[in-house]
């Protein structure tokens, strides 16, 4: 019988993950949690693919800027002095550009990960967006210490090793975007998990 929360989610190892040689380590962390890799490939995206991957709505872009503003506020930095801007949407637009450049800076590894509560569990294993805030034991908390304070000063995105879908709907959309309609997703039984 299929588990009510058996899900598929979309994961990408980002350029810093590939360049730090962490592809295997990242896959291992999903597999050791009894999640299954059901599709896997290294590839080079086009600028258009990356641009379409990240949302374009103002609410999402403003949220990117808010992550910068919150960090600046927490540590007593003036965004205007550091970046020349203090509006969340304006900062978000800059961050989105840096993000696209960052995602094109090395090959990526795309995969579909399947299992119980896969969407939430994969996000938990990855850890929260900003590595300096991520708990030890998460991928981002164990292998990165990046922060918007440094990243934005260097006019680049926060490097956080891995992307993972946020909701089952986003996962479905991203699997189709990155593997194509009717892509080959494999099916097999994990010892001790599926039987």
d(CA 174, CA 10): 6
Closer to ligand ATP by Cβ: residue 3 or 155: 155
Tell me the Ramachandran region of residue 182: left when phi exceeds 0, alpha when psi lies from -120 to 50, beta otherwise: left
132 DSSP assignment:
G
Active-site residue, from 3, 117, 163, 177:
163
Closer to ligand ATP by Cβ: residue 26 or 157: 157
Residue 117 annotated among the catalytic residues of the structure? no
Output Rg (C-alpha) for the chain, integer angstroms.
17
Q: Which two tokens stand for residue 185?
A: 């997703």
Q: Strand, coil or helix: what is 28?
A: helix
Strand partners, 18: none
Closer to ligand ATP by Cβ: residue 45 or 148: 148
In the complex, the residues that contact ligand ATP under the rule CB under 6 A are: 64, 67-68, 95, 99, 129, 148, 151-152, 157-158, 160, 163-164, 166
| Residue nearest to ligand ATP according to CB distances in the complex | 129
Task: Give the count of beta carbons closer than 10 Å to the beta carbon of residue 34.
Answer: 13
Instruction: For the CB of residue 148, give the shortest distance to ligand ATP in the complex, in Å.
Output: 4
Q: Which two tokens stand for residue 34?
A: 């009894």
Instruction: For the CB of residue 5, give the shortest distance to ligand ATP in the complex, in Å.
Output: 20
Closer to ligand ATP by Cβ: residue 39 or 158: 158
Sequence-ordered alpha helix ranges (H) in the chain: 15-19, 23-31, 47-53, 58-74, 79-83, 88-103, 118-126, 139-143, 148-153, 168-179
Instruction: For the CB of residue 65, give the shortest distance to ligand ATP in the complex, in Å.
Output: 7
Instruction: For the CB of residue 170, give the shortest distance to ligand ATP in the complex, in Å.
Output: 9
Which residues have a catalytic role annotated? 163
């Amino acid at each position: 019988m299929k588990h009510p929360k058996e899900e598929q989610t979309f994961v990408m190892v980002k350029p810093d993950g590939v360049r730090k040689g962490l592809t295997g380590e990242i896959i291992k962390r999903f597999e050791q949690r009894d999640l299954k890799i059901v599709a896997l490939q290294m590839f080079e995206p086009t600028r258009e693919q990356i641009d379409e991957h990240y949302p374009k709505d103002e609410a999402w872009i403003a949220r990117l800027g808010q992550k910068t503003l919150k960090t600046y506020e927490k540590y007593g930095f003036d965004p205007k002095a550091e970046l020349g801007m203090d509006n969340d949407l304006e900062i978000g637009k800059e961050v989105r550009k840096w993000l696209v450049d960052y995602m094109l800076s090395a090959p990526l590894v795309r995969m579909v990960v399947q299992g119980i509560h896969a969407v939430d569990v994969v996000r938990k294993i990855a850890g929260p967006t900003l590595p300096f805030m991520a708990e030890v034991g998460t991928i981002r908390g164990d292998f990165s210490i990046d922060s918007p304070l440094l990243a934005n000063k260097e006019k680049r995105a926060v490097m956080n090793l891995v992307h993972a879908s946020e909701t089952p709907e986003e996962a479905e959309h991203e699997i189709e975007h990155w593997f194509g309609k009717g892509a080959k997703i494999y099916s097999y039984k994990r010892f001790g998990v599926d039987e």
